[in-house]
Amino acid sequence: MMKHLLGIRDLTTADILQLYELADRFYEVLQQPTRKAPALSGKTVALLFFESSTRTKLSFELAAKRLGADVLNFSASGSSLSKGETLLDTALNILAMGVDAFVVRHHGVGTAHFLAAHLPTPVINAGDGTHEHPTQALLDTYTLRKHFGYLEGLTLTIIGDLFHSRVALSHLHIAPKLGLVVRLCAPPTLVPPLWYNLGFPVYHRVEDAIKGANALLVLRMQKERQAHPPIASWEEYARFYQVRPEHLSEGQVLMHPGPINWGVELHPDLIRSGASRILDQVTHGVAIRMAILYALLLQ
């Protein structure tokens, strides 16, 4: 196992399978009444979130606490960043308080890599701009593995705002390592031009992209990253790209990394339907993040 978790690109297949095995163990622990496996007792994990988060931040906090670690929650607003302190000085000062690992979410691509280059402790990328969100791809594929019992040969269709999605890019890195077949689907305005050359088929019609797939990963329209709206209206996007009940066939499962824009990328009737694994993804996120913290801090 590597020292940091900065991107899926850096993980081997063996690393990923080792994390799944650890997550299986921690998933069982989480079913017990105490839900605790205090292997990281005495360790401290700092959460540095410069962008909003519900799932990733809380599940890392819970994962660290379930493992017996202490958690430091840094919030950019109200910090001395507003007085001109740099990012690295901020991290070094937190390190000086006695921290064993950093979990970092930042709008800047490469921020976690920058900190990893200057800090002696493990750094985990919890999302860097439009680059990677490795722990999300790990928990998504873990969810598929738990549902189907295997991954090799499964077809996953990723639909939505590919242009601004760090989740999609992490999936493009993880799929070949696990034998997953990936299809991409978005309006032409939301496909990064180079993605047509990566060897993954790109569809512009939802019906074609979904047909015969085992699973769908529907992505949020990332309005906060879109300086100029890439489509004429959200109504038009929903008309042509919203995933609706009639699109799904028996046995297909539906995932979404969250948060959901209700009524835009996903029909409301699908969100809590039998096909939806969306809340399972969140549950599995705790076990996967326990596995990551354990692997980086104890191995």
Which segments within the chain are labelled E, that is strand?
A: 44-49, 70-75, 101-106, 123-128, 155-159, 181-185, 202-203, 215-218, 253-255
Binding of ligand CP at residue 224 (CB under 6 A)?
no
Instruction: Compute φ and ψ for 265, nearest 5 degrees.
Output: -85, -20
67: left (phi over 0), alpha (psi -120 to 50) or beta: alpha
Q: Two tokens at 46?
A: 């700092």
Binding of ligand CP at residue 56 (CB under 6 A)?
yes
End-to-end CA distance of the chain: give it in Å, rounded: 7
Binding test (CB under 6 A) with ligand CP, winner from 112, 214, 257, 267? 257
The CA dihedral of 180, 184, 185, 187, to the nearest 10 degrees, is 170
- Contacting range for ligand CP; rule: CB under 6 A; set: 10-18, 183-191, 225-233, 256-264: 256-264
Binding test (CB under 6 A) with ligand CP, winner from 9, 55, 204, 225? 55
Binding of ligand CP at residue 259 (CB under 6 A)?
yes
Looking at residues 134 to 163 of the shown chain, list those that interact with ligand CP (rule: CB under 6 A): 136
With tokens 């090799």, the residue in question is: 152
Binding of ligand CP at residue 75 (CB under 6 A)?
no
- Contacting range for ligand CP; rule: CB under 6 A; set: 47-55, 199-207, 229-237, 272-280: 47-55
Binding of ligand CP at residue 276 (CB under 6 A)?
no
- Contact call for residues 60 and 104 (beta carbons, < 8 A): no
**Number of residues near ligand CP (by CB under 6 A):** 10
Binding of ligand CP at residue 258 (CB under 6 A)?
yes
Binding of ligand CP at residue 130 (CB under 6 A)?
no
Q: No. of H helices and E strands in the chain?
A: 10, 9
Residue number with CB closer to ligand CP (37 or 162): 162
Binding of ligand CP at residue 245 (CB under 6 A)?
no
Binding of ligand CP at residue 188 (CB under 6 A)?
no
32: left (phi over 0), alpha (psi -120 to 50) or beta: beta
Residue number with CB closer to ligand CP (37 or 61): 61
Binding of ligand CP at residue 129 (CB under 6 A)?
no
Q: Strand 44-49 vs strand 101-106: parallel, antiparallel, or unpaired?
A: parallel
Cβ 52 to ligand CP shortest distance, Å: 6
For the chain, percent helix, then strand, then coil, each to nearest 5?
45, 15, 40
Binding of ligand CP at residue 54 (CB under 6 A)?
yes
Residue number with CB closer to ligand CP (37 or 140): 140
Cβ 178 to ligand CP shortest distance, Å: 20
**Residues in touch with ligand CP (CB under 6 A):** 53-57, 127, 136, 257-259
